């Protein structure tokens, strides 16, 4: 497992919030993803219509931070569809690992990443936004996703 540490500048995302019981996310997130891609043409400032992001806060402090967001990156928030939400991520540092394989095994990749973070003297910032950058998501048995864990 190769872990990369990167600092990212501000990131602007637009998409749909998914809020449900924990066991329902595996059903609701793909539905939100399909809905986002059906309406991608309505997002005028999308950077890459084929690059999908997932966003969440591990230890959310408010109801507004609870859930999972399925998004695309935008250059600005001009003319976004009214039913979509806009998220701005400040400059943050991330520990990043790539998971390729079954979606059901993504937890193992997260466990390895969290262990690496601890063993290498970094601190997870669980109250900050974390990201998943999907390169391939259509086949749940063969996904390709970068896992971004916010650190200091």
Other Cβ atoms less than 10 A from the Cβ of 83: the count is 9
The residue ranges of every structural domain in the chain are 4-151
List pLDDT tens digits, range 106-117. Answer: 899 999 999 999
Please give the residue that has the higher pLDDT: either 29 or 26: 29
List pLDDT tens digits, range 2-22. Answer: 999 999 999 999 999 999 998
Which CATH architecture best describes the domain 4-151? Alpha-Beta Barrel (3.20)
- Position 66 scores a pLDDT of 92
Rounded mean pLDDT, 31-59? 93
């Amino acid at each position: 497992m190769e872990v990369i540490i990167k600092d990212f500048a501000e990131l602007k995302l637009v998409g749909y919030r998914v809020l449900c019981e924990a066991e329902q996310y595996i059903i609701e997130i793909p539905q939100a993803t399909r809905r986002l891609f059906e309406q991608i043409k309505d997002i005028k400032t999308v950077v890459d219509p084929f690059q999908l992001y997932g966003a969440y806060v591990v230890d959310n402090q408010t109801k507004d931070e609870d859930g999972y967001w399925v998004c695309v990156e935008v250059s600005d928030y001009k003319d976004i569809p009214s039913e979509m939400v806009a998220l701005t991520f400040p400059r943050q540092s991330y520990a990043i690992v790539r998971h390729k394989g079954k979606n059901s095994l993504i937890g193992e990749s997260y466990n390895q990443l969290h262990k690496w973070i601890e063993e290498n003297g970094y601190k997870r910032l669980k109250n900050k936004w974390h990201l998943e950058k999907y390169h391939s998501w259509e086949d749940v048995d063969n996904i390709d996703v970068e896992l971004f864990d916010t650190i200091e």
